[in-house]
Amino acid sequence: MTIGFEITAAVAALAALAIYVVVHQRKRTRENARAQADLDAWKLRLEQDLKRARDERNRLLDALGDAFLLVDDHGYIRFANSAARQLFGDRDLSDRPVREAFVDPRLAASVLRCLETGESIQSRVVLPQQTSPRGDQETRGLNAWIVDAARMDEDSIGGASTRIVIRDVTSEHQTEQIRKDFVANASHELRTPMAIINGYLENLLDDDMVEEPAMARRFLTVMRKHAERISRIVEDMLVISRLESGEAAALKVEPFRFRSCINDVIERLESLIQSQNARIDVRMDDEKLLLQGDRFYWTQVLFNLVENALKQNPHPGLRIEIGLEAAGSNHRIWVADNGIGIPSADLAHIFRRFYRVEKHHSQQEIKGTGLGLSIVKRAVEAHGGTITVNSVPGRETKFLMTVPREPAPAEEPAA
């Protein structure tokens, strides 16, 4: 009896234990499953956060105006922002070697040197248009970039260890080039008349020519001509720099009769017009028309254009037309002549400072400095207008300016 009871008790205890184990195990399995689910959810959230952070970083880098790239130790591109992709013709740059992606070796050189040596490298690369990384044909001559490559201090980002910034400095490069050219050309232009004046002075003083009044007078006349030339060059350069500096915004804009401006120009050039037997026609619907602008600069614009036509065509029979007409909210002003014209190859350049059409000057003495048209262009632009030129040699050469009737104040040029 006792034995039977003990067995029953033992079985009951075992059963209870078994039930306990099963219940406990189920509980543990449930808890594990919950913990796993929590872990998965956490992982997912982490991945989503990471993706969001990465997208945000990429958006920020895409907002940069400069091209930005991350490169790994083997020279493979790991990241390229939108400016970088654009720079390389919208090509996909990811996982491509720098050497291959940066089409031109001159552009890749500083990056590769930084990768090899670990040194930070900044270099200016100037490439002619044909080899621009864009691979397309640009109309301007040269493109310039600052390539800045440096190793990153922290642990590599996504396998990348070097960052590259490429800044397009083409317009700064061009401005600098223009300034250099201007100084070089101006000194060159001033040197000739200075040398002539010095030569004559030497003759007068050292060779005692002063004692011979007829000869001395002849020398002095030549010297005066060259001194006048120097004055004109200096004056023209001052006008250009005034128009290019903030002073353009300080144009004295007031209404004036355009016709009286034309009369002044014809009067100043009267002797040349007479001696060349040239004819000047004025085309204006309303001779009393008032133009809003700076009378001083408009007189200079017309003077330079009419003087050019006369200077380039000394033969008789030249006809020059000066015209003005209203066109919507603009005025159209033109100066046209029927002279020798401008070869089409030169047309794109004649507004550049010191540019002269070689063909016009080679046989005879130099007729000018090449500053007249650049003054014309600056003055028209300072009035908010534009100027174009068309030329059919022997038939018509026409400078056409379009200016707003109410000129807006000129913008301050960028510093």
**348 and 390 in contact (C-beta within 8 Å)?**
no
Name the token pair of 139: 């109309």
Cα dihedral sign, 264-301-405-389: positive
161 binds, among Mg ion, ligand ATP, none (CB under 5 to 8 A by kind): none
Does position 356 bind ligand ATP by CB under 6 A? Answer: yes
Does position 377 interact with ligand ATP (CB under 6 A)? The reply is no
From the list Mg ion, ligand ATP, none, partner contacted by residue 342 (C-beta under 5 to 8 A by kind): ligand ATP
368 counts as binding ligand ATP under rule CB under 6 A: yes
CA distance 323 to 284: 6
Q: Quick one: CA dihedral 163, 167, 173, 176, positive or negative?
A: negative
Site stretch for Mg ion (CB under 5 A), options 122-130, 269-277, 366-374, 389-397: 366-374
The answer to whether 280 touches 390, Cβ cutoff 8 Å, is no
User: Between vectors from CA 244 to CA 239 and to CA 245, what angle results, nearest 5°?
Assistant: 100
Q: Does 162 bind ligand ATP (CB under 6 A)?
A: no
Task: Tell me if 81 contacts ligand ATP by CB under 6 A.
Answer: no
- Residue 133 or 372: the one with the smaller Cβ distance to Mg ion is 372
Residue closer to ligand ATP (CB basis): 314 or 404: 314
Cα separation, 66 vs 81, in Å, equals 9
Question: According to CB under 5 A, which residues from 369 to 398 bind Mg ion?
Answer: 372
- What minimum distance in Å lies between the beta carbon of 399 and Mg ion? 11
**Contact range with ligand ATP by CB under 6 A, out of 45-53, 132-140, 366-374, 377-385:** 366-374
Q: Confirm if 207 and 181 have CB atoms less than 8 A apart.
A: no
Q: What is the per-residue binding string for ligand ATP in 267-306, x denoting contact by CB under 6 A?
A: -------------------------------------x--
d(CA 145, CA 124): 6
Spatial CA neighbour of 303 closest among 267, 276, 327, 278? 267
What Cα–Cα distance (Å) separates residue 215 from each residue in 193, 199, 201, 203, 326? 19, 14, 12, 10, 56
Provide the token pair at 382.
């300072």
Among 161, 162, 300, 397, binds ligand ATP (CB under 6 A): 397
Binding flag, residue 339, Mg ion (CB under 5 A): no
CB of 409 vs Mg ion, minimal distance in Å: 28
Residue of 356, 396, 401, 357 lying closest to 378 (CA atoms): 401
Per CB under 6 A, the list member of 259, 360, 377, 378 interacting with ligand ATP is 360
Partner touching 106 among ligand ATP, Mg ion, none, CB below 5 to 8 Å by kind: none
- d(C-alpha 59, C-alpha 63), whole Å: 6
- Asked whether position 193 contacts ligand ATP by CB under 6 A, the answer is no
Query: Shortest gap between Cβ of 194 and ligand ATP (angstroms)?
Result: 17
293 binds, among Mg ion, ligand ATP, none (CB under 5 to 8 A by kind): none
Among 77, 110, 369, 384, binds ligand ATP (CB under 6 A): 369
Query: Quick check: 316 and 277 in contact, CB under 8 A?
Result: yes
Kindly list the distances between the CA atom of residue 64 and the CA atoms of 37, 93, 107, 132, 167, in Å, as whole numbers in the listed order: 41, 17, 20, 21, 10
Restricted to residues 166-195, the positions that interact with Mg ion (CB under 5 A) are: none
Selected binder of ligand ATP within 337, 338, 382, 385 (CB under 6 A)? 337
Distance between CA atoms of residues 34 and 26, nearest Å: 12
Site residue total, ligand ATP (CB under 6 A): 23
User: How does DSSP assign 26-59, residue by residue?
Assistant: HHHHHHHHHHHHHHHHHHHHHHHHHHHHHHHHHH
Select from ligand ATP, Mg ion, none the partner in contact with residue 75, using the beta carbon and a kind-dependent cut-off of 5 to 8 Å.
none
Question: Using the rule CB under 5 A, is 308 a contact of Mg ion?
Answer: yes
In angstroms, what is the minimal distance from the CB of 289 to ligand ATP?
Answer: 24
CB-closest chain residue to Mg ion? 372
Q: Using CB atoms within 10 A of its CB, is residue 289 exposed (0-12), middle (13-18) or buried (19+)?
A: middle
Q: Is 350 in the site for ligand ATP (CB under 6 A)?
A: yes
Contacts with ligand ATP by CB under 6 A lie at: 236, 304, 308-309, 312, 337, 339-342, 350, 355-357, 360, 367-373, 397
Residue ranges binding Mg ion (CB under 5 A): 308, 368, 372
